[in-house]
Amino acid sequence: MKLYPWLIKPYNNIVQQYQKKKAHHAILIKTPRGIGVSLLIWFISKWLLCLKPIGLNSCDKCHGCKLMSANNHPDWHNFTLEKNNLFSIESVRIINEKIFTCSRQGGSKIIFLSDTGKLTESAINAFLKTLEEPPRKTWFFLVNYKNLNSHSTLNSRCLIYKLFIPEEKKSLYWLKKETVKKNRSCLTALRINQGSPLYAKKFINSNLWIDRINFYECLHDSFKKNNLLKILPLITEKDSQVKIDWICFLLFDSIKFYFNENDNLTNSDQIELIQFFSYNYKNTILDTSIRTWLHCKYRLSNISGINCELLLSEQLLIWEKILNFS
């Protein structure tokens, strides 16, 4: 396993703190999703559990390193949850049990809590006590994906370390090397995924990427044939809300294009289609279109049991009207 290039600096920064023996026992990392925070914590933990670290790197040879690499180290406690589960008081009790027994390998013990946003109120209160007086050589890594100011007491018990979305240029370089795809495709995948290189890689290698290309082709075709209902099967088939996002991204791009913001287009691989919209429709019309699509998406996600096909065909007819189809 290798650390992603954008995580090397944060890794060095944090490990140096341990090296100087100045590290806080609990580090709370605030980060956007999709840049690999779990891997960062895993690498730092490996260094902490390495018996003979070489500078800022772990040796990769000792028993500690081998156990970590086999995902089998008894003093590395990874509390990662399934999607909709929460950390309850019971989870905190298990954490306490782990840290108040001796470390199995005689060195450090590490607790990794993958998302503090999933701690229930009572779990936070219990966990605060744990953080107050932890046993020696116990290190906590907590991750928070949002709520910058929530749980101020929890924040105050930890050292806060912030990760940011990597610079676009760097992500692009990495993504091109990883996927061997064209510059334009990589840039588009990055921007659709809010700059997350990991999500972009997953996206560009998925069937959804192919669906997206087909979807735009079909959309273009339905305009040429003056019949928007042609895209109905594609939108209703699956991922309807994602496809509405694609339409909106494209309409936004057409407005940006009008204002010569060509460097900031999301779909830099769809210039032809963007030009088509921009040349043929006024910005006010594009803007109204976006609003109706967002409204449609809202209804789709918030009204349970709604007839998806009916709603989408209605929206397509509304859109035809807005665009003045004859």
β-partners of residue 138 are 109
User: Least distance (Å) from Zn ion to the CB of residue 57?
Assistant: 9
CB nearer to Zn ion: pick between 38 and 105:
105
CB nearer to Zn ion: pick between 59 and 208:
59
Give the chain's length: 326
Q: How many whole angstroms separate alpha carbon 45 and alpha carbon 111?
A: 9
Angle in degrees, CA 296, 211, 319, rounded to 5: 30
CB nearer to Zn ion: pick between 46 and 118:
46
Q: Which residues contact 118 (CB under 8 A, 6 or more apart)?
A: 81, 85, 86, 87
User: Least distance (Å) from Zn ion to the CB of residue 188?
Assistant: 41
CB nearer to Zn ion: pick between 56 and 322:
56
In 3-state terms, the chain is what percent helix, strand and coil (to 5)?
A: 60, 10, 35
User: Least distance (Å) from Zn ion to the CB of residue 62?
Assistant: 3
CB nearer to Zn ion: pick between 61 and 170:
61
Other beta carbons within 10 Å of 179: 16
Q: Which residues contact 169 (CB under 8 A, 6 or more apart)?
A: none
Under 8 Å between Cβ of 127 and 153: no
User: Least distance (Å) from Zn ion to the CB of residue 175?
Assistant: 31
CB nearer to Zn ion: pick between 67 and 200:
67
Under 8 Å between Cβ of 142 and 40: no
Angle in degrees, CA 288, 185, 234, rounded to 5: 50
User: Least distance (Å) from Zn ion to the CB of residue 246?
Assistant: 47
> CA quadruple 225, 228, 231, 232: dihedral positive or negative?
negative
Q: How many whole angstroms separate alpha carbon 131 and alpha carbon 207?
A: 44
Q: End-to-end distance of the chain based on CA atoms, in angstroms?
A: 58
User: Least distance (Å) from Zn ion to the CB of residue 232?
Assistant: 59
User: Least distance (Å) from Zn ion to the CB of residue 65?
Assistant: 3
User: Least distance (Å) from Zn ion to the CB of residue 29?
Assistant: 23
CB nearer to Zn ion: pick between 65 and 123:
65
The type of residue at 146 is K
Interface positions with Zn ion (CB under 5 A): 50, 58-59, 62, 65
CB nearer to Zn ion: pick between 58 and 130:
58
In angstroms, what is the C-alpha Rg of the chain? 25
